[in-house]
């Protein structure tokens, strides 16, 4: 049995308009893409669709519901970028300041050039990393999931990885000099420490006070408390035969360092509220989080002539190769990736997106005033069955828009 539940805004179309979106979710479950899925779409005015299908865990009977809670992993990064932007707007944070001027321990990070046997070859970087480079993945810090040298470095040094929730767990060496290229890594976790140092608040408290409470995002936070864990979706791993099996994979609880790049729990409704704030120039639910000029600034291209590139997996159990819209020019804002060309039947040029490691996805399209969220909970990341759900849902959302025009 496929459980299916959805809500819709009758002012934006009758029930027949919504069944196409419901069918996308049902097909996803029938195809074995996920145990369960929640998806939402919005116009600039508010949520137009919120639906769920399948089950929270493949081995239990509880249905997936629209208020289910998800580990959103790297969808956290956009929220951290907005948190940093509040400090920029207030004149408290300079994006071009060297990180080491704010966090002196950052000066200890060196560039990894290779190995002599199992001994890392390290040197000083040719220039200092700036706060902007942390936010735009141009600092030289990368994840071990897509870089064999960092994977080896952690193995031969015995250091923990970023999911340890420790300072040493994000103290990777750089793999290129700052500003040389775009590559994806733990820079946003360091940005979280910058936010803490400048604001004088822990990251979880700062985000709660400045973003979540004002916007009414009551199910979003860096911990999932006991009274909400009954709504928490289960995590699954794809096996070689295509089957999904339950696993445990949570951000660390009460860590030394909350992961600004990966640590949040949220719901589709809450995250859509955050996207609606960005679509509405910093204001939603009666709260002005950022000024319109600040939103416009942070959503611009901040990597000049550099390009967002394909991430080639070195740990295929956890992630597939990852690239949105291969062959298309893509840039990086302070909070998102930007597609510089239109995607046929989907988002316009200048749209923004990102994703989380357990196959959670979002996009928002300022030109058309549309946003979407698709949430699942499984590895590997960018599983083709899961990305097909994203594409099918997005195409259905834009087909509805065109039909209503």
Tell me the three state secondary structure of residue 34.
Answer: coil
Q: Cβ-count burial of 22 within 10 angstroms (0-12 exposed, 13-18 middle, 19+ buried)? A: buried
Tell me, what's the pLDDT at 6?
A: 54
Count the Cβ atoms, other than its own, within 10 Å of residue 373.
30
Residue 270 scores a pLDDT above 60 = yes
- Residue-wise pLDDT tens digits, 310-323: 999 999 999 999 99
Residue 2 scores a pLDDT above 90 = no
Which segments of 308-394 are extended strands (E)? 330-332, 337-339, 351-356, 360-365, 370-375, 378-379
DSSP state of 104: G
Arithmetic mean of pLDDT, 294-308: 98
Which segments of 226-319 are extended strands (E)? 235-238, 244-247, 265-266, 283-284, 287-288
Tell me, what's the pLDDT at 355?
A: 98
Tell me, what's the pLDDT at 334?
A: 98
Can you name the CATH fold of 4-86+199-404?
Beta-lactamase (3.40.710)
Tell me the three state secondary structure of residue 277.
Answer: helix
Residue 304 scores a pLDDT above 90 = yes
Among 6, 74, 199, 351, the active-site one is 74
- Residue-wise pLDDT tens digits, 123-163: 999 999 999 999 999 999 999 999 999 999 999 999 999 99
pTM, to two decimals: 0.95
Residue 26 scores a pLDDT above 70 = yes
Task: Give the residue, 6 or 137, on which the prediction is more confident.
Answer: 137
Among 77, 153, 330, 378, the active-site one is 77
Arithmetic mean of pLDDT, 59-81: 97
Q: Where are the domains of the chain?
A: 4-86+199-404
Q: Given pLDDT bands bounded at 50, 70 and 90, which one contains residue 239? A: very high
Among 153, 184, 265, 398, the active-site one is 184
- Residue-wise pLDDT tens digits, 324-367: 999 999 999 999 999 999 999 999 999 999 999 999 999 999 99
Q: Given pLDDT bands bounded at 50, 70 and 90, which one contains residue 405? A: confident
Task: Check: CB of residue 183 under 8 Å from CB of residue 174.
Answer: no
For residues 23-34, b (16+ Cβ closer than 10 Å) or e, as one string?
A: ebbbbbbeeebb
Cα–Cα distance, 120 to 251 (Å, whole number): 29
User: Among candidates 45, 37, 34, 41, which has minimal Cα distance to 17?
Assistant: 41
Q: Given pLDDT bands bounded at 50, 70 and 90, which one contains residue 7? A: low
Arithmetic mean of pLDDT, 93-110: 98
- Residue-wise pLDDT tens digits, 163-215: 999 999 999 999 999 999 999 999 999 999 999 999 999 999 999 999 999 99
Task: Check: CB of residue 189 under 8 Å from CB of residue 209.
Answer: no
What distances in angstroms separate CA 401 from CA 13, 42, 293, 368, 377, one per listed residue?
10, 11, 28, 9, 28
Arithmetic mean of pLDDT, 31-55: 97
Catalytic status, residue 152: no
Q: Given pLDDT bands bounded at 50, 70 and 90, which one contains residue 403? A: confident
Tell me, what's the pLDDT at 252?
A: 95
Task: Give the residue, 13 or 206, on which the prediction is more confident.
Answer: 206
Catalytic status, residue 184: yes
Catalytic status, residue 6: no
Task: Give the residue, 405 or 227, on which the prediction is more confident.
Answer: 227
Task: Check: CB of residue 232 under 8 Å from CB of residue 265.
Answer: yes
Tell me, what's the pLDDT at 182?
A: 98
């Amino acid at each position: 049995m496929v459980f299916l539940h959805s809500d819709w805004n009758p002012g934006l179309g009758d029930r027949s308009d919504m069944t196409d979106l419901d069918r996308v979710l049902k097909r996803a479950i029938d195809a074995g893409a996920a145990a369960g899925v929640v998806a939402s779409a919005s116009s600039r005015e508010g949520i137009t669709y919120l639906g769920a299908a399948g089950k929270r865990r493949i081995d239990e009977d509880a249905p997936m519901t629209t208020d289910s809670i998800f580990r959103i992993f790297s969808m956290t990064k956009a929220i951290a970028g907005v948190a940093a932007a509040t400090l920029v707007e207030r004149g408290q944070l300079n994006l071009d300041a060297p990180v080491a001027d704010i966090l002196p321990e950052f000066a200890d990070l060196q560039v990894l050039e290779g190995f002599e046997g199992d001994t890392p070859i390290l040197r000083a970087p040719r220039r200092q990393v700036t706060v902007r480079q942390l936010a735009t993945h141009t600092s030289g810090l990368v994840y071990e999931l897509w870089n064999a040298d960092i994977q080896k470095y952690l193995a031969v040094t015995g250091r923990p990885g970023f999911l340890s929730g420790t300072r040493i767990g994000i103290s990777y060496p750089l793999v290129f000099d700052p500003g040389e290229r775009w590559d994806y890594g733990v820079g946003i976790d360091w940005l979280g420490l910058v936010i803490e140092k400048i604001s004088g608040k822990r990251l979880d408290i700062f985000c709660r006070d400045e973003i979540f409470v004002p916007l009414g995002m009551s199910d979003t936070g860096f911990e999932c408390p006991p009274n909400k864990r009954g709504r928490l979706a289960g995590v699954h791993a794809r096996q070689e035969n295509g089957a999904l099996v339950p696993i445990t994979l949570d951000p660390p609880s009460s860590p030394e360092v909350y992961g600004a790049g990966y640590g949040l729990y949220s719901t589709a409704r809450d995250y859509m509220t955050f996207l609606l704030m960005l679509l509405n120039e910093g204001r939603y639910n009666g709260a002005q989080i950022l000024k319109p000029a600040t939103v416009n600034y942070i959503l611009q291209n901040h990597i000049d002539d550099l390009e967002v590139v394909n991430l080639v997996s070195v740990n295929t159990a956890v992630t597939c190769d990852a690239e949105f819209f291969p062959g298309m020019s893509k840039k990086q804002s302070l909070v998102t990736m930007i597609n510089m060309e239109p995607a046929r039947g989907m988002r316009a040029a200048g749209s923004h997106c990102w994703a989380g490691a357990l196959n959670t996805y979002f996009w928002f399209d300022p030109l058309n005033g549309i946003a979407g969220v698709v949430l699942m909970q499984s590895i590997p990341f960018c599983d083709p069955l899961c990305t097909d759900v994203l594409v099918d849902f997005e195409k259905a959302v834009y087909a509805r828009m065109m039909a209503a025009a």
